[in-house]
């Protein structure tokens, strides 16, 4: 969780200073590490390194382990973070250049749906 916290701090720093592409990549990495940590907390035998690379899959697994948390409400945001995380690859079809300011604020804000 220590590394996830550092990734989160780096993501905030990048995003708050207008470095959106790097900030979204760091945010996705922080989310992945936090979700994997939570899954391991609930089920220490789970081999998250081998099974999960998808934020959506991780969120679904965390939600399955603790449905009372209502994590499924973040599924749309997880899909968007996955899209922008994949943008670091040249064959990604999602273009950050077409991302609206509204979407950036939505992704980086902590709002309850």
Q: Tens digits of per-residue pLDDT, 66-86?
A: 999 999 998 988 888 887 777
pLDDT, mean of residues 52-65: 90
Encoding tokens for residue 50?
Answer: 């081998």
Does residue 113 fall inside a structural domain?
no
What residues make up the domain containing 21?
2-108
Domain count, the chain: 1
Helix 55-65 / helix 75-86 crossing angle, nearest 10 deg = 150
CA-CA-CA-CA torsion sign (87, 88, 91, 95): positive
Does residue 50 fall inside a structural domain?
yes
pTM (predicted TM-score): 0.78
pLDDT at 101: 65
pLDDT at 111: 47
Q: What pLDDT band is residue 113 in, cutting at 50, 70 and 90? A: very low
- 62 within 8 A of 71, measured Cβ to Cβ: yes
Contacts 24+ apart (CB under 8 A), 40-44: 42/66
Does residue 79 fall inside a structural domain?
yes
| 4-57 residue pLDDT tens | 899 989 988 988 888 877 888 888 899 999 999 999 999 999 888 877 778 999
pLDDT at 47: 85
Does residue 94 fall inside a structural domain?
yes
**For residues 93 and 86, what is the distance between their CA atoms, to the nearest angstrom?**
9
User: DSSP assignment, residue 99?
Assistant: -
């Amino acid at each position: 969780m220590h590394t996830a916290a550092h990734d989160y701090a780096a993501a905030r720093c990048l995003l708050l200073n207008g470095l959106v592409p790097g900030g979204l990549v760091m945010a996705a990495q922080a989310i992945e590490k936090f979700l994997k940590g939570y899954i391991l907390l609930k089920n220490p035998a789970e081999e998250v390194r081998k099974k999960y690379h998808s934020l959506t899959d991780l969120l679904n697994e965390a939600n399955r382990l603790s449905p009372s948390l209502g994590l499924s409400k973040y599924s749309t945001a997880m899909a968007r973070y996955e899209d922008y995380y994949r943008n670091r690859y040249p064959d990604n079809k999602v273009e950050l250049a077409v991302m609206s300011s509204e979407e950036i604020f939505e992704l980086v804000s902590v709002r309850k749906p």
